Chains A and B, each alone.
Chain A
Amino acid sequence: MPEYQTHVHDVLVIGAGGAGLRAAIEASASGVSVGLVCKSLLGKAHTVMAEGGIAAALANVDDRDSWQVHFADTMRGGQYVNNWRMAELHAKEAPDRVRELEAWGALFDRTADGRILQRNFGGHRYPRLAHVGDRTGLEMIRTLQDHGIHMGIDVHMECTIVQLLKSGDRIAGAFGYERERGRFKLFRAKAVVLATGGVGRAYKITSNSWEYTGDGHTLAYDAGADLMDMEFVQFHPTGMVWPPSVRGILVTEGVRGEGGVLKNSLGRRFMFDDIPENYRPQTADNEEEGWRYTQGDKSARRPPELLTRDHVSRCIVREIKEGRGSPHGGVFLDISWIKARIPHAAEHIKKKLPSMYHQFKQLADIDITQEPMEVGPTTHYIMGGVRVDADTQMSTVSGLFAAGECAAGINGANRLGGNSLSDLLVFGKRAGEFAAKYAVGQKAADVDGSQADAAARRALEPFERGTSGEGPYQVQYALQDMMQDLVGIVRNEGEMKRALDCLRTLRARAARVGIGGHREYNPGWHSALDLHNLLTVSEAITLSAIERKESRGGHFREDYPDKDPAFATFNIVTRKSRDGSTEVSRAPIPPMPQELKKVVEEMK
């Protein structure tokens, strides 16, 4: 094989957002050698955009909170198809992970007695989100980054992995290229942790950055690992809708947590019109009570704007479809109204939601302290991902681990806001810990050079076709339009079958994509390589969504609009079969142990 620049690590972490950094820190602390691959520069990963907070039952603001309540909230939000063991570990360990960040220098907002302040968020019974205004993700990634750079981790910035390498049935490393010079890199590793985030770029309207192309999902799938729950995509209810160039950019749920209300064009708070049965006991039935809740009144129940994201998104879609939307095809989100309730409201809003104020002022000429925002659903998160063991985060391939958004299980059919940042910390740590343990027990595997050679050849094909081939961006846009239209918020069998046909056509187009220029820092080349990943996850999403003939959480089918208890007993798994086609199967959910069942019952 040609000479590739080769790096040898015990543990290779792919992805440097919250989960990847936390995994790398943990693995490194246990004494093994660690490599960390960043698709962008260090500290720019998608975690930086998380706004609202980190969910952890610290019980600093409301002492009724506990891991049991957090566990029950997570399971209810996920419509009970979550991996209950992951939900349990997550609820139990999140508080320690948050306190650890503080020990590493994070500065959260404080309570009056100097402890970490917590705020309300959708689906969480008590104020639970540790936060820093509306830039919690920045605080978290910076804390991890500034801690991690002193731990002897080898950081490979602006490097993209195109294939995992295997030796027999176990993982042996990864193959990729660095963007600056366009040179290939070969990583030999005893264990690999995937922490690559999500798939939002498969859709037209998304809050996700260019990096979110399903890389980890696809690397795992191509290496023979199972993907699970891919039908569950979260459409966040509040993305910007105007002007067109900012469509999809996230508007934090924190706006509603601070008292913001959703209204249609008739000025009606439509969220009161449709409160699901299982949330009725804990939801306010009048505006007064909802307001009191946002102001910390413990006897009040939460306003319906803070129902789970899947439900709020569907209510917004309904209002728009039935002609009660805002001028640019959204609904109104109003926080300025609180000036009728509290003095100095404008200052309060700017203090609590500084980057939202900034974002609307600069990008849309809207002063959110004075007028309502226009918002609509945006593709935000995928609950599905690599199927992993709850305790160790190891996938179905030996030595391959996954954590964070690219792993499945914790969130079931719908993720609660704030549970993502805590998921990154809890399972990032676990993945790092167990990947290191695994690596210590292994000898370095042989890397068969032909795997790398084949990957290198494939990666260079778009150059051979040159500019005579179709441009990569055109295929990407066509895919995004198609997924948005046919496998979006509201789905049906006919459209999804059509989506499968379209995917075949797009795959053929992707195989003919050509690019010009040279290998150095060439975004066109990168986009061409992303297409395989986007197509792979889109197919997994579509096939899984066809298989789940019911509506649950983030997955809504107009041809099966109700929840079907028969579908509550299994997860849908996709894997690559020997002939290269995608195999879809149903994996039964193991019964919940008695003590967890009791927790769920008690919290109902």
Chain B
Amino acid sequence: MTAAPAAAAASRPMAGPVAARLPGDRLHLQHGPIDLVIGATGGREAAFAAAWDRFRTVLPELVAELGLLRRAAGPRPRGAVARRMHAAVMPHAPAGFITPMAAVAGAVADEILAAMRAAAPLSRAYVNNGGDIALWLGPGQAFRAAIATLAGQVAGHIDLAAGDGIGGIATSGTGGRSFTLGIADQVTVLAADAAAADAAATVIANAVNLPGHPAIARAPARSLQPDSDLGARLVTTAVGALTAAEIARALDAGAAVARDLAARGLIRAACLMLRGEVRLARWPQPAGSLAHA
């Protein structure tokens, strides 16, 4: 929308955080690039109030340390959300370049969910940050999420139950808002919290790749987004025709990384998609049941 209250002409303050109630008893919080859709059952009103209260300063806190957060994970930042980001990406740092920004969406979701849980007894709650979701299920509660393909079809459902040990769902890939070094259409990861899922989804999506393939167009991240944390690294801009064997090879590469992360206890399940091919992997104890549609 483009219209504005005409009288705001004199001096427009930078847009602050905003809250709106959505249909279905959901809360929408937005500030700059952060969009949260929040649901809660139990002490909903108290939880929503706490979410709003905490949300107000989240973006300014992140902006205050943005320079540090955009650099390869190293020194520990100060802010609560920034620390969640840092903690989530550190396990991946030895394997290659990663910045705390790889977990920003999930970390914000986790932080807001934590504030809600601290404020009220909840039976069930979620904070969806543009597809990266922090989730809480109380005793006996279940949650069904659908994984949609880029074409809008439902690729599968994820049924989660209390005690699964899954508190986060995140998706990364060429269909997302962030850049990827790989070619996966999307990689969805379940993990203990949203920040961990977010970081892992980024790492796995990067690994679904065919280095040097002529049909894959790449450009320095900085040429597309001047202040990208990925700097001059080549991010995928287009993926041309791939053979079935190439698709399988790329997915295998990603699945190998996913297995490794699972073995280290960093993720519980992953769903990798490329050109209609899907790899589902889950690891027992604890795990959600991931069923193909």
Partners in one complex: no
Residues of B participating in the A interface, judged by any CB pair closer than 8 Å: none
Residues of A participating in the B interface, judged by any CB pair closer than 8 Å: none
